[in-house]
Amino acid sequence: MPPTPVRVRLALAESTVLGLACLLAFWLASGVFTHVYLDSRDSDLLGGMWAALATIFVSRASFQESLAAGVSRMSGTLISFVICLVYLVFLPFHLWAFALLIGISSAVGLLIGRPGDATTAAITTAVVLVVSTISPVEPWQQPILRFIDTVIGVVIGVGTAWLSLKLVHPHLR
């Protein structure tokens, strides 16, 4: 069954809003934020991508779902942030640490009763550890930078969900 014209308009509006939100997140994380903290161009681009992914991650069908996804994303990121920061302050990337820290990140999410956040924590840990080896900035800075990128993306994603509720779906108020 083909979509109705109303459904097509809503899909186009929501997709446009998401695209613009990702553009804003990318621009803030890779352009504006870099004036506050001088970093490499590669790390800036990674930060923009990471913020855009966080925006996409929290974009859900309703504001409440987006807010819950934002809390989940921040929870998983916070778990990874603490674990990676503590590790990278003292030690460089090692393959054994990669596996161990992903496991620890996942276990923490599970043990605090947030199984959905365990996956996000593990993914974030994998990215942070790999990026810490290829970025020209000090490895211990990567958890901090990716945490900030995530905050940017989550705030924009949840804000966009609220704005979408007001502009694209005013009948749901």
For residue 131, give the H/E element and its range. Answer: helix 115-134
Residues 33, 44: Cα–Cα separation, whole Å: 9
Q: For 25-40, what is the mean pLDDT?
A: 75
Tokens encoding 145: 């930078």
Q: pLDDT tier at 33 (50, 70, 90 boundaries)?
A: low
Q: Are the C-beta atoms of residues 104 and 83 closer than 8 Å to each other?
A: yes
Q: Is the pLDDT reported for residue 35 higher than 60?
A: no
Q: What is the pTM of this model?
A: 0.89
Q: Is the pLDDT reported for residue 169 higher than 90?
A: no
pLDDT (tens digit per residue) in 55-101: 999 998 888 999 999 999 999 999 999 999 999 999 999 999 999 99
pLDDT recorded at residue 137: 76
| Alpha-helix residue ranges (DSSP H) falling in 39-94 | 41-58, 63-90
CA of residue 44 relative to chain centroid, distance: 14
pLDDT recorded at residue 171: 60
Tokens encoding 23: 């553009």
Residues 14, 44: Cα–Cα separation, whole Å: 27
pLDDT recorded at residue 90: 95
Q: Is the pLDDT reported for residue 108 higher than 60?
A: yes
CA of residue 143 relative to chain centroid, distance: 12
What percentage of the chain reaches a pLDDT higher than 90?
65
pLDDT (tens digit per residue) in 38-59: 567 777 888 899 999 999 999 9
Q: Report the mean per-residue pLDDT for the chain.
A: 89
pLDDT recorded at residue 168: 63
Question: Phi, psi (5° rounding) for residue 40?
Answer: -80, 160
Packed helices 141-167 and 5-27: angle between N→C axes, nearest 10 degrees: 150
